[in-house]
Amino acid sequence: MSEANLKTKTAKGLFWGGMNNGLQQLIGVVVGLVLLSRLSPDDYGIVGMLAIFTAIATTMQEGGFKAALINRGEIRAEDHNSVFWFTIAVSACLYLILFFLAEPIARFYNQPELVKVARLLFLSFFFVSCSISSDAYLLRKMMIRQRAAMDISGALIAGIVAVVMAIKGFGYWALVAHSVVQSFVTSLLKVLFTPWKPNFKICFKPVWEMFPFGFRLVAASFVTQIQNNIFSVILGRAYSKTEVGVYTQGSKWANMANQVFSGMVTSVGQPVLAVARDDADRRRAIFRKLTRFVAFAAFPAMLGLGLIAPEFINLINPEFAPSVPILRIYCLYFMATLVQTLFNQAAMAAGRSDRFLTFTLINAAVQIATAFLTYSFGLVTMAAAVTAANYLAVVVWYLLSRDIIGVRFIDLLKDTVPFFAIALLLVTLAHFAFAAIGSDLLRMLLKIAFVAGLYLTFTQRTATFKDVMAFIKKREL
């Protein structure tokens, strides 16, 4: 692929990846606002207790094969077909296992209603398995616009269903329906409208060829899901449903913002870096450009969300006010996670899933240990401790991947710290400048306008700003 063509595909991939995740999160915000006003912390706590099981099942049924298909040198239709049938078979078995485990899970949490909730909610990961091969095809071909249309359609339909159910008084069933409907509709659209179609000529040989690469990824993802969801297990045993709901909401809103930017990076990161895997200078230039983009766009957005968190939550539902400190801390947490995502993409593009697994094991061990050591000191203390551990993990990941990315640590700091410093300064000024304003809505709008306006003014001479503006005007980088 020529340099010009690669730049164009990268630009369009970032744009449509951003549109995809941005609109999904916008839909999620609108739906979330309605649900938050209609549902209680207990409702969120019920569904939150099952998050770890769904996440682990989803990881196991994918098996790392999506990344393996994207990274495969020569790809054939039978490769996609092999993965399609294998993941469906695995996910069907997992669903049956979890179906019968629903009662023990409910007894573990002492929540009898979890039996029916679990059996319906676990259908979502089975539906996702049906579109893994199709999704890999879209990503490999960088058909990000088409993929965005399918994802957004699924999010919109699921959102409408959830809102109607919440208004009709179905409580936590609205949250369950949202997850199941979104996974079903999105997967159905991808199977129907992706150019590649499955057939009944089933041969699992390609699966075994991809297994070593995929196995390390699934092991890493399995550990990551335990790490990410262990808090729901800890809190479910140590705290009330209300407190679990408060913690879930705080981390949820920060993660929604994170998903916008991580989705942009993962839409193009591995495919673009894989093209340049044999050219160290080109690979280094691509990595640094992606890093600067993440710092330029994501850091002010995450810090800004933390800035307006009190007004945002209070305008929606004051009952969730205790989640504000959690939201703010997790905004910082996910900034570090975004940098880790860049390292993840570089390692996978280089075929080094072993490095990915090594980092994941180290990071998970530290994070889980931190959570166990600090949860008894309160939710805020635990959130702050795991966030500090997440920044330490950035350094560890850099040490493990520096030979892959070829970027000096000082260059990584040069690419990120200036944008962080400018955003932090403006957020701090806005916090004090508008503190005396009584109206939550007015105070929030003034904070946003102040930070956004001055941030763009201060960064308009940077190369990253010029790249972004060039793409907006000409659709090219």
Residue of 282, 238, 241, 294 whose CA lies nearest to 467: 294
Question: Residue 105 is inside which H or E element, if any?
Answer: helix 77-109
Cα distance between residue 130 and residue 136, in whole Å = 12
Please report where in the chains the tokens 């408060």 appear, as a residue. Answer: 246
DSSP 286-349: HHHHHHHHHHHHHHHHHHHHHHHHHHHHHHH-GGGGGGHHHHHHHHHHHHHHHHHHHHHHHHHH
Give the domain ranges of the chain.
Answer: 1-15+239-477, 39-238
Percent composition of the chain: helix, strand, coil (DSSP 3-state, to 5): 85, 0, 15
Report residue 17 as tokens: 């990846």
Per-residue pLDDT of the chain (477 residues; tens, 9 = 90+): 444 455 555 555 555 555 656 666 677 777 877 887 787 777 777 787 777 676 666 555 555 677 677 766 677 788 888 888 988 888 888 889 889 988 998 888 888 888 998 899 888 888 888 888 888 888 777 777 788 888 889 889 998 999 999 888 888 898 889 889 998 999 999 989 888 888 888 887 877 777 766 666 666 766 766 666 666 666 666 667 677 777 877 888 888 888 878 877 776 666 677 666 677 788 888 888 888 888 998 999 999 999 999 998 888 778 788 889 999 999 999 999 999 988 888 887 777 778 878 888 888 888 888 888 888 888 889 889 999 999 999 999 999 888 888 889 999 999 999 999 999 999 999 999 999 898 989 999 999 999 999 999 998 888 877 766 765 555 444
Report residue 400 as tokens: 């493990």
What is the DSSP code (8-state) at residue 376?
A: G
Handedness of CA 195, 200, 206, 211 (dihedral sign): positive
Cα distance between residue 299 and residue 305, in whole Å = 10
Cα distance between residue 137 and residue 196, in whole Å = 7
End-to-end CA distance of the chain: 16
| pTM, 2 dp | 0.66
Q: How many CB atoms lie within 10 A of CB 406?
A: 16
b/e map 182-203, b = 16+ CB within 10 Å: bbbbbbbbbbeebebebeeeee
What is the DSSP code (8-state) at residue 39?
A: S
Torsion angle in degrees (nearest 10) through CA of 374, 240, 170, 48: 20
Distances (CA, A) of 397 to 237, 277, 394, 400, 455: 32, 19, 5, 5, 29
The answer to whether 220 and 353 have CB atoms below 8 angstroms apart is yes
pLDDT, position 39 = 79
5-10's contacts with Cβ under 8 Å and 24+ in sequence apart are 6/272, 6/275, 6/276, 7/476, 7/477, 8/475, 8/476, 8/477, 9/142, 9/268, 9/272, 10/268, 10/272, 10/286, 10/477
Cα distance between residue 128 and residue 141, in whole Å = 20
